[in-house]
C-alpha cells in the first residue's frame, strides 16, 4: 500500500500548499518598484544614499502594512553612472520585470537617456533629483528642486551680499549648460553682469588654468555647477591657489557633501540652496536622520537626494491608496486634484498638477571656514512655478518634452 | 598687466600641464612604452598610490613619507599582479588588454565595496604665492619639480645602472639576454613593479589636490596614454618631449578657449603625431641620431 498512498498524500499536500500560496500571493500581491540608481562609477558618492533611502522607506511602509495592504517589492539595478546602462535597465524593468513604477536617475544626461523609453512603453517614473528644470512629461514625477526654487532664491541673495559680477563654472552637459542659462537670465534680471563662464567636460580634474581665468575676470562670486567626483577637485585646487572668492551652487554640499570630504577651509563661503541636508536642525529632520543612521550606521552623509527619494516612496503610497490603483492614468487623476501633499523631513511638500514637480522648503546653507554649516535664510513653500507660467499644463496636454528659458513651450 | 606677469602665468600653466602629463604617463611609459603591455589598470595603480598616501597621512605619517609609501605599496601590488597575471601573457598582447581591464574593474569595484564611495582628503600643503594679479599654489611647483626629478631619475636608472642595462637588453632581445645568463623573469617583474610604483607615485603626489574616489584613476588615463603614444618606446626621450609638446598644446588651448578645447587639442595632437611619426617622438629622435 504504502508507496502509492504516500505518493497520493504527497500530491495532495503539494497541491494544498500551492493553493494556499497562490491565495496568499493574491491577497498581498506585491507592488513592484524599480530602482535604477548609480551604485558605482563617477556619481556613486552622491547616489548610494538614494538607494538606501528607498530601502528605508520601503521597510517602514512594509512593516506598517504596505501600500493598501500590498507589500512593496524593490527591483534594484546598478546603473554604474552610465547612460546606456539606464536605457538597458529601463527596458528591463518595464518589459521583463513589469514594475509598477520606477525611481531612476541622477545626472540629467541619464534622465534624458531613459525618458523616451518610459514614454514609449507608457511607464511611470519618479526622478528624485534636483536638476535644471523644464521636463513637462506626464510619465514623470519630479521630486527634486528646480531652478526657480534654487537659483531665483540664491543668485539675488548672493548679488545683494557680494556684488553683481558673476562667474559661472559649470559641467559641460545638459544640466550645466541649461543651469548656466538660468544663472545668466537671473543675473540679467537683477541688473548684474556675467564676468565670465566656463564649461568643464565631465571627468576633468585639473583646474589650474580655469582658476587663473577666474582670477583674470575678477568676479564678485563664482557659481560652481560642477558635477561628479572628478570635478570636485576644483575646490581643493582653488583653495590652495588662494582664489578666496565666495561660491554659490545648486548641486554642491547638498549632493556630494564636499564639506565633509575636503579638508577645511577649501569650501569656505560656499552658499548652497537645497531642500534637505542632514545638518538641518528641525525635529522632523533630526528624526529622519536618526532613522537613517539606525539602519545604515556607516552612511557617510544623508543628502538632499536621499530625502527626495525617501519622501517619494511615501508620496507614491499616498497616491496609489487614493487612486485605489497603480495605473498611471488613475494616479494622475489624483494628482490633478492638486492636494497631494505630505509632511516630509524638510517640511511640507506638495505636487503641482500642471508640471508634476514638487514644492519645497529651500534652505540656504553656508559653509564656514571650519566646514560647519549654518542657515542664514530659509524660504518656505517655494512652488515649481516656471513650467506652469510658460504654458506647460499636464492636466490638459502631455507634450513629453523638456523646455528651457530659450526654448519655451510653443504658444497655442 | 605687464609682460613679466603674463610670461610667468604662461610658464606656470605650462609647468602644471607638463607635470600632470609626465607624472600620469611615466609608469605607463615603462609598462606600455617599454615592455609593450597595454596596461588598462594603470589608473588603478595611481588610485592605489593615492589611497595609501591618504590613509597613511591620516594616521599621522608626514606627507613626503606617505607619498613614498603609496609608491612602494603600488610597486608591490604591481609585482604581485605581474607574478599572477601579466607574466603568462607577455606573448599575447591582446589578451593583456582584457586581463588588465578586468583587473581595473575589480580594483575599482573592490575599493568601492571595501573602503566606501569616498575618502577624506588630506589638504594641499604649502599655501600660495602672488605674482601680479594672480595667486598660485606652491604645491603645483613641487609637482613640476617632481616631474623633472622623476624624468631625471628614470634616465639615470635605465642608462647608468646595471639594472637599467639588463632591463633594456631583456626587453629588446629576451632570448639573447637569457642566453647570457640574465634572469629575464626577474627583470620583467622588477620592470613592471617599477612602472606600477611610478603610477603609485603619481597618485601619491596628486592625492592632496584631488577628490579621492575609487574611479579617480580614470581621470589620468587619457593623458597617460596620449603622452605615451606620442612619446614612443623610449621612456626618457619619449615621455619628456611628448609631455612638453602636449603641455604647450593643452595649456595654450585651455587658456585661449577653455578646458574643452584643451582636451580636444590633446586628441588632435595624437592623431597628427601618430600619422606623421608612427613610432612616436622617441622613434623619430633615435632614428635621426643613428
Q: What pLDDT, in 10s, does the model give residues A223-238? A: 999 988 888 889 988 8
- Residue from B113, B254, B263 whose CB has the most chain A CBs within 10 Å, to mutate: B254
- Quick one: A261 and A355 in the same domain? no
Instruction: Output the pLDDT for position A4.
Output: 55
Pair (A241, A314) in one structural domain: no
Question: In total, how many domains does chain A have?
Answer: 2
Q: Tell me the pLDDT tens digit for each residue of A247-299.
A: 999 998 999 898 988 888 888 999 999 999 999 999 999 999 999 999 999 89
Residue B255: list chain A partners with CB under 8 A.
Answer: 209, 212-213
Q: Do A208 and B12 touch (CB under 8 A)?
A: yes
In a domain, A162, yes or no: yes
State pLDDT tens for residues A76-112. Answer: 999 999 999 999 999 999 999 999 999 999 999 999 9
Backbone angles phi, psi at A101, to 5 degrees: -155, 150
- CA–CA distance from A401 to each of A127, A128, B24 (Å)? 15, 18, 43
A residues 115-174 lying closer than 8 A (beta carbon) to B: 172
As a whole number of angstroms, the distance between CA A103 and CA A89 comes to 12
Give me chain A's average pLDDT, please.
89
pLDDT band at A7 (very low <50, low <70, confident <90, very high): low
Domain count, chain B: 1
Is residue A42 situated within a structural domain?
A: yes
Using a CB-CB cut-off of 8 Å, the residues of chain A touching B227 are: none
Closest CA of chain B from A24, distance in Å: 37
Which ranges of A263-327 does DSSP label H, i.e. alpha helix? 283-295, 304-323
A153 and A218 in a single domain? The answer is yes
**Closest residue to B112, CB basis, from A40, A203, A263:** A40
- Residue A355 lies inside a defined structural domain of this protein: yes
Percent of chain A with pLDDT strictly greater than 70: 93
Residue A22, pLDDT > 80, answer no
Domain boundary (A239, A274, A309) is at A274
The CATH number for A98's domain is 3.40.50.2300
Nearest CA in chain B to A196: B258
Asked if the model's pLDDT at residue B132 lies above 80, the reply is no
Question: Does the pLDDT at position A25 exceed 80?
Answer: no
The reply to whether omega before A221 is within 30° of 0 (cis) is no
Residue A365 lies in a domain: no
**Predicted local distance difference test score (pLDDT) of residue B129:** 86
The answer to whether residue A409 sits within a structural domain is: no
Q: Which residue of A has its CA nearest to B218?
A: A203
Are residue A159 and residue A257 in the same domain, yes or no? yes
- ipTM for the complex? 0.82
Spatial separation of the C-alpha atoms in residues B98 and B101, rounded to whole Å:
5
Q: Which domain holds residue B259?
A: 3-289
pLDDT score at A23: 40
Do residues A138 and A35 share a domain? yes
Mutating which of A41, A180, A209 best tests the B interface, going by the most B Cβ atoms within 10 A? Answer: A209
Q: Tell me the per-residue pLDDT of B33-87, one tens digit each, with 9 for 90 and over.
A: 888 888 999 999 999 999 999 999 989 889 999 999 999 999 999 999 999 998 8
SS3 A20: helix
Same-domain status, A137 and A206: no
- Beta carbons within 10 angstroms of residue B88's beta carbon: 13
Q: Do A40 and B123 touch (CB under 8 A)?
A: no
Would you tell me which residues 130-169 of chain B have a C-beta closer than 8 angstroms to some C-beta of chain A?
A: 130, 133-140
In a domain, A7, yes or no: no
Strands of the A140-142 sheet, one edge to the other: A72-78, A31-37, A101-104, A125-127, A140-142
CA distance to partner chain B, nearest, from residue A15 (Å): 44
Is B216 near chain A, with CB under 8 Å? yes
Domain shared by A35 and A72, yes or no: yes
Q: What is the pLDDT of residue B288?
A: 58
pLDDT in tens, B175-193: 888 888 888 889 889 999 9
Nearest CA in chain A to B106: A40
Clarify whether residues A101 and A158 are in a common domain. no
- Domain of residue A64: give its range: 31-145+281-360+383-402
The contacts of residue A312 (CB under 8 Å, 6+ apart) are A54, A103, A126, A128, A141, A143
Collect all residues of chain B within an 8 Å Cβ-Cβ radius of residue A236.
121, 123-124, 208-211
A231: part of which helix (H) or strand (E)?
Answer: helix A228-231
Contacts of A216 in chain B (CB under 8 A): 133-134
For A203-206, which contacts have Cβ atoms below 8 Å and span 24 or more sequence positions?
Answer: A203/A42, A203/A228, A203/A230, A203/A231, A203/B218, A203/B219, A204/A230, A204/A231, A204/B219, A204/B259, A204/B263, A205/A230, A205/A231, A205/A233, A205/B210, A205/B211, A205/B216, A205/B219, A206/A233, A206/A237, A206/B16, A206/B17, A206/B20
Which of A256, A274, A292 marks a domain boundary?
A: A274
Which B residues 169-208 touch A at CB under 8 Å? 208
pLDDT for A127 beyond 90: yes
A12 domain-assigned: no
A160 and A201 inside one domain: yes
- A319 plus A301 within the same structural domain: yes
Residues of B in contact with A205 (CB under 8 A): 210-211, 216, 219
| Contact status of B265 with chain A (Cβ, < 8 Å) | no
Integer Cα distance of B33 and B30 in angstroms: 6
Q: Is the pLDDT of residue B198 over 70?
A: yes
Residues of A whose CB is below 8 A from B251: 209
Q: Which residue of B has its CA nearest to A38?
A: B117
**Residue A159 shares a structural domain with residue A268:** yes
CB contact under 8 A, A240 and B124: yes
Instruction: Tell which of A248, A274, A300 closes a domain.
Output: A274
CA distance B122 to chain A (A): 6
Residues A155, A270 share a domain: yes
Q: Please report the pLDDT score of residue A18 as a whole number.
A: 45
Segment B118-146 mean pLDDT: 85
Q: Is residue A4 part of a domain?
A: no
Concatenated DSSP letters of B168-230: HHHHH-HHHHHHTT--HHHHHHHHHHHHHHHHHHHHHHHGGGS-B-TTTTHHHHHHHHHHHHH
- The model's pTM is 0.84
A210–B139: do the CB atoms touch at under 8 Å? no
Q: Is A230 on the interface with B (CB under 8 A)?
A: yes
Amino acid at each position: 500500500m504504502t508507496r502509492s498512498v504516500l505518493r497520493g498524500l504527497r500530491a495532495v499536500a503539494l497541491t494544498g500548499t500551492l493553493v494556499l500560496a497562490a491565495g496568499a500571493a493574491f491577497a498581498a500581491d506585491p507592488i513592484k518598484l524599480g530602482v535604477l540608481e548609480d551604485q558605482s562609477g563617477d556619481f556613486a558618492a552622491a547616489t548610494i544614499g538614494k538607494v538606501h533611502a528607498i530601502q528605508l522607506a520601503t521597510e517602514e511602509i512594509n512593516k506598517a502594512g504596505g501600500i493598501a495592504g500590498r507589500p512593496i517589492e524593490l527591483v534594484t539595478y546598478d546603473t554604474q553612472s552610465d547612460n546606456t546602462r539606464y536605457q538597458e535597465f529601463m527596458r528591463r524593468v518595464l518589459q521583463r520585470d513589469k514594475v509598477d513604477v520606477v525611481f531612476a536617475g541622477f545626472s540629467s544626461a541619464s534622465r534624458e537617456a531613459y525618458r523616451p523609453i518610459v514614454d514609449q512603453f507608457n511607464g511611470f517614473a519618479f526622478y528624485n533629483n534636483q536638476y535644471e528644470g523644464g521636463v513637462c512629461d506626464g510619465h514623470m514625477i519630479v521630486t527634486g528642486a528646480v531652478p526657480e526654487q534654487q537659483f531665483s532664491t540664491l543668485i539675488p541673495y548672493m548679488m545683494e551680499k557680494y556684488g553683481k559680477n558673476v562667474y559661472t563654472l559649470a559641467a559641460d552637459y545638459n544640466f550645466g549648460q541649461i543651469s548656466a542659462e538660468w544663472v545668466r537670465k537671473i543675473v540679467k534680471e537683477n541688473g548684474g553682469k556675467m564676468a565670465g563662464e566656463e564649461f568643464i567636460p565631465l571627468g576633468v580634474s585639473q583646474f589650474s588654468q580655469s582658476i587663473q581665468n577666474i582670477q583674470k575676470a575678477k568676479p564678485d562670486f563664482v557659481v560652481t555647477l560642477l558635477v561628479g567626483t572628478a570635478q570636485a577637485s576644483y575646490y581643493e585646487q582653488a583653495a590652495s591657489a588662494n582664489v578666496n572668492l565666495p561660491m554659490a551652487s545648486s548641486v554642491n554640499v547638498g549632493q556630494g557633501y564636499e564639506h565633509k570630504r575636503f579638508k577645511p577651509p577649501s569650501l569656505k563661503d560656499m552658499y548652497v540652496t537645497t531642500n534637505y541636508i542632514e545638518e538641518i536642525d528641525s525635529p522632523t529632520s533630526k528624526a529622519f536622520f536618526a532613522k537613517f543612521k539606525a539602519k545604515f550606521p556607516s552612511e557617510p552623509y544623508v543628502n538632499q537626494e536621499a530625502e527626495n527619494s525617501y519622501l517619494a516612496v511615501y508620496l507614491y503610497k499616498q497616491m496609489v491608496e487614493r487612486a485605489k490603483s497603480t495605473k498611471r492614468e488613475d494616479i494622475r487623476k489624483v494628482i490633478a486634484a492638486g492636494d497631494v501633499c505630505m509632511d516630509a523631513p524638510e517640511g511640507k511638500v506638495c505636487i503641482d498638477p500642471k508640471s508634476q514637480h514638487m514644492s519645497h522648503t529651500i534652505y540656504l546653507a553656508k559653509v564656514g571656514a571650519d566646514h560647519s554649516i549654518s542657515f542664514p535664510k530659509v524660504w518656505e513653500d517655494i512652488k515649481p512655478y516656471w513650467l506652469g507660467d510658460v504654458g506647460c499644463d499636464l492636466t490638459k496636454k502631455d507634450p513629453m518634452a523638456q523646455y528651457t528659458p530659450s526654448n519655451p513651450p510653443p504658444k497655442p | 598687466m605687464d609682460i613679466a606677469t603674463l610670461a610667468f602665468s604662461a610658464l606656470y600653466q605650462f609647468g602644471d600641464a607638463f607635470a600632470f602629463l609626465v607624472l600620469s604617463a611615466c609608469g605607463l611609459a615603462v609598462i606600455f612604452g617599454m615592455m609593450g603591455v597595454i596596461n588598462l589598470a594603470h589608473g588603478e595603480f595611481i588610485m592605489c598610490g593615492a589611497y595609501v598616501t591618504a590613509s597613511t597621512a591620516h594616521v599621522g605619517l608626514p606627507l613626503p613619507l606617505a607619498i613614498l609609501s603609496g609608491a612602494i605599496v603600488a610597486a608591490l601590488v604591481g609585482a604581485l599582479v605581474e607574478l599572477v597575471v601579466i607574466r603568462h601573457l607577455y606573448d599575447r598582447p591582446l589578451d593583456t588588454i582584457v586581463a588588465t581591464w578586468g583587473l581595473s574593474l575589480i580594483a575599482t569595484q573592490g575599493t568601492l565595496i571595501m573602503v566606501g564611495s569616498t575618502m577624506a582628503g588630506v589638504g594641499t600643503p604649502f599655501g600660495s604665492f602672488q605674482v601680479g594679479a594672480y595667486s598660485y599654489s606652491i604645491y603645483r611647483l613641487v609637482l613640476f619639480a617632481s616631474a623633472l626629478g622623476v624624468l631625471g631619475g628614470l634616465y639615470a636608472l635605465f642608462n647608468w645602472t646595471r639594472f637599467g642595462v639588463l632591463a633594456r637588453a631583456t626587453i629588446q632581445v629576451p632570448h639573447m639576454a637569457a642566453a647570457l645568463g640574465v634572469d629575464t623573469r626577474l627583470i620583467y617583474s622588477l620592470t613592471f613593479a617599477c612602472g606600477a610604483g611610478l603610477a603609485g607615485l603619481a597618485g601619491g603626489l596628486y592625492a592632496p589636490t584631488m577628490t579621492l574616489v575609487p574611479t579617480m584613476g580614470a581621470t589620468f588615463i587619457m593623458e597617460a596614454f596620449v603622452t605615451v603614444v606620442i612619446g614612443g618606446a623610449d621612456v626618457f626621450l619619449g615621455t619628456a618631449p611628448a609631455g612638453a609638446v602636449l603641455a604647450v598644446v593643452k595649456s595654450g588651448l585651455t587658456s585661449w578657449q577653455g578646458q574643452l578645447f584643451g582636451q580636444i587639442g590633446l586628441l588632435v595632437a595624437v592623431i597628427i603625431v601618430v600619422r606623421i611619426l608612427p613610432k612616436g617622438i622617441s622613434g623619430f629622435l633615435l632614428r635621426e641620431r643613428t
